[in-house]
Structure 1
């Protein structure tokens, strides 16, 4: 089963959900706002994909960070601001996929 992490009102999440439903792929959706991720899980994400691939630099939240925060992304900063995380985060077994890509999703 695929676990999808994100925020329910995110357009990219809506696209990913629609893709899985249309392709009859079972998934579990976990909303960061309703069920905040813990420090251990976030560290796992970072270890697998790095901050560079995990942080959504186009988000309003990121743009509102000061230069020091942008240069020093921490677990606590991201846990306090989960919208910094690029969406969706897919957990497939031991693998993690970040963002929506129809081409990559078809490979699943």
Structure 2
């Protein structure tokens, strides 16, 4: 039996986060939303995400924030420690959404298939 809700981390005005939240809500799955802009990036959670998925998967190098960074700042991101520091300083550098599922899994990004796989555990609750 699931005792906690999935926690969806992201930014409220991010289109991908909006689609992920709508997918959960449309199917009646409760979740908790953690907004990086309002609530900050939880450092301990960021550590878990880097450990689970790797800093390369978590770092959003395709977004506006990365593209607007100067070359020196970009070239300084070379390992998990420097990536964590950059993501803590600029929450928009975190690929979204990051979901911590009740079964302990962490996923990055949204696709209906990815969410469908994890929703199986939610329906058993």
Taking structure 2 as the reference length, the TM-score comes to: 0.80
Distance in 1 (CA, whole Å) between partners of 2:21 and 2:70 is: 33
Structure 1 unaligned segments of length 5 or more: list them: none
Q: Equivalents in 2 of 1:85, 1:12: separation in Å? A: 12
How do 1:51-66 and structure 2 match up within 5 A?
A: 51-66=55-70
Alignment partner, residue 78 of structure 1: 87
Residue 34 of structure 2 corresponds to which residue in structure 1? 30
Count the aligned residue pairs. 108
Tell me which structure has the larger Cα radius of gyration: 2
1:104 aligns with 2:95: no
Q: Which runs of 5+ in 2 are unaligned?
A: 119-125
TM-score (norm 1): 0.91
- Specify which structure has the higher proportion of strand: 1
Which structure has more helix as a fraction of its residues? Answer: 2
